[in-house]
Amino acid sequence: MATEPLAATGRNPIHRIPPSRVPIQVLEIELFPSDGSRPSVRHPVATGRAVAAGPTLALVRARGRPLGLIQADARDPGELTALLTATAERLSDEGAGRAEADAALPIDPPLVSVVIATRERPGMLEKCLTAVRGLDYPRFEVIVVDNAPVTEDTAAMVTTRFPDVRYLREPRKGLARAHNRALPEARGEIIAFTDDDVVVDRHWLRAVAGGFAAAERVGCVTGLIVPAELATRAQAMLERHGGFAKGFERRVLSLEEPGDDPLFPFAAGTFGSGANMAFDAALLRRMGGFDPAMGAGTPARGGDDLLAFFRIITAGRRLVYEPRAITWHHHRRSEADLATQVFGYGVGLGAFLTAAVTAEPRMLPRLIRRVPQGVGHALRRAAAHRTPEADRDRRDTAATWPWKLSLMEWYGMLNGPLSYARSRRTARRTGGTTL
């Protein structure tokens, strides 16, 4: 028997994902396939796998454009497919006219360099590269940067399975260093970064190029990140807590177009994430690349992507969030890894805020002025959403997101400034140039 699906739409979708119901299959629904056939329902990552019964999260697309996420459950695969399709069509009706929006792409697509940093995960990297190989884009190159490898497994896999991919080594540990290693080697006008635990949508680069063509002075394009799987409780917990998705509407942001976030541009986490980001190559080089004192593999643990977004904005350029640029991310599977990740996010956020005011001290008065506005904005939004249904959602979330995880995130954030200072000393000692 089918249950009524729960649709999540808008810029900040609420995922009513019950971690106790895992595994939750992740599907993709295309309402208007290019061959003119009926709506298609499929596994976006495990291609060829049949749709199964049970709890499901599905991304709805109309002519490639993502419209939202829906959830459903049924005991029969055919019934589930019918239920998902009907719900997706209602979602399409609600967003009538949006299916054709933002479809224009450059007539002469620029050369794009796809950069993937990795460390001792050849199995995941192989899946990532297989998806990249299938990209529907006429001009791109692929660079893999092996960061501080301890074995030859990654090198062997890349050179054997993907001889057209350029393989580079960065002996010094750190994600930012690995990304910077690719900058002098990349030939593209645009450099697009993704992670080895990601599967890219085949239209990813077309959407990225479209984002750069969406406005003048675009320095960076980010995109939609959707879970590749929800097989474990930890994966479902992260997605329910907010995941990586930033909404389904294109946004163009700059100092002159700050959007509605009172903490702009310090709320860089709302702009996108490092698993799906692309930069004007010349601008990124002029900026000196990424801060080597930040990112995974350093005491700062993260924040390198956020700082890059911040510096793009403060340099007077535009950042475009383009939801058509889709990647599918494999979340951490174990709750122990999730706890480590959450603490790392907190440290990275604290490090980013420290680095931001260090790199752009002129922005500090702006941050101080806007903190009270940000607090007031958050309180007003909370009050506006005080409904019985919202209260139930909050109670459900509290039950599936232990307070210890929130405490770890805050503790990490408080540690961020000292961690960044330690990272800077380490970077200088090991030959890095901090920003």
Pick 1 or 101 by higher pLDDT. 101
112-333 CATH fold: Spore Coat Polysaccharide Biosynthesis Protein SpsA; Chain A (3.90.550)
How far apart CA 406 and CA 243 sit, in angstroms, is 14
The answer, as to whether pTM is greater than 0.75, is yes
In the predicted model, is pLDDT for residue 9 greater than 50? no
Query: What percentage of the chain has pLDDT greater than the value 90?
Result: 66
Q: And the tokens for 9? A: 């739409």
Pick 12 or 144 by higher pLDDT. 144
Domain regions of the chain by residue span: 3-94, 112-333
Best-predicted range by mean pLDDT (1-10, 27-36, 219-228, 261-270): 219-228
Show Cβ contacts of residue 214 under 8 Å, excluding neighbours closer than 6 positions.
102, 250, 252, 320, 322
Span of 316-320, 356-360, 361-365 with lowest mean pLDDT: 361-365
Pick 37 or 104 by higher pLDDT. 37
Sheet bearing 65-73, strands edge to edge: 3-8, 65-73, 56-62, 25-30, 40-42
- Over residues 102-143, the pLDDT tens digits come to 445 566 899 999 999 999 999 999 999 999 999 999 999 999
**What would the mean pLDDT of 207-217 be, rounded to a whole number?**
96
- Over residues 306-333, the pLDDT tens digits come to 999 999 999 999 999 999 999 999 999 9
Show Cβ contacts of residue 400 under 8 Å, excluding neighbours closer than 6 positions.
18, 19, 20, 236, 237, 240
Q: What is the pLDDT of residue 380?
A: 43
Q: What is the pLDDT of residue 377?
A: 40
